[in-house]
């Protein structure tokens, strides 16, 4: 009988210790879950902001939905206008002391 009670007492202590370990692990997992949830919520907010920015850019686009392209003037369009003289390019030669 003593031996059985001793084993039962030891099993109870071991089980209590294991139970505390499991409770600590559950607490850690809950903390990690909270961190992950916060991270996901932050990502959702950032993505929502990016989406709104893209939508705003679409609303700000030209109403006729065309892309304006800057093209150089053709020679025919410039025929009546005098073109300014090109600016001279000045280069400076670096002088080196002779050896």
Q: Let me know: does 62 contact 68? Beta carbons within 8 Å.
A: yes
Residue 30 counted as domain residue: yes
pLDDT category of residue 21 using cuts at 50, 70 and 90: very high
Alpha carbons 56 and 77: distance in angstroms, whole number? 37
Residue 35 counted as domain residue: yes
Number of structural domains (the chain) is 1
Predicted pLDDT at 76 = 53
Residue 95 counted as domain residue: no
The domain in which residue 47 lies consists of 2-60
pTM across the whole model: 0.47
Angle at 52 between CA 51 and CA 56, to 5 degrees: 120
Residue 44 counted as domain residue: yes
Residue 88 counted as domain residue: no
Residue 42 counted as domain residue: yes
pLDDT category of residue 33 using cuts at 50, 70 and 90: very high
Is 78 a residue whose pLDDT tops 60?
A: no
DSSP state of 65: -
């Amino acid at each position: 009988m003593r031996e059985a009670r001793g084993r039962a007492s030891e099993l109870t202590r071991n089980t209590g210790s294991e139970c505390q370990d499991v409770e600590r692990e559950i607490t850690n997992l809950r903390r990690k879950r909270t961190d992950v949830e916060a991270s996901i919520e932050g990502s959702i907010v950032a993505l929502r902001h990016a989406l709104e920015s893209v939508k705003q850019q679409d609303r700000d686009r030209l109403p006729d939905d065309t892309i304006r392209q800057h093209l150089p003037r053709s020679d025919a369009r410039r025929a009546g206008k005098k073109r300014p003289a090109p600016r001279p390019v000045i280069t400076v030669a670096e002088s080196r002391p002779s050896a």
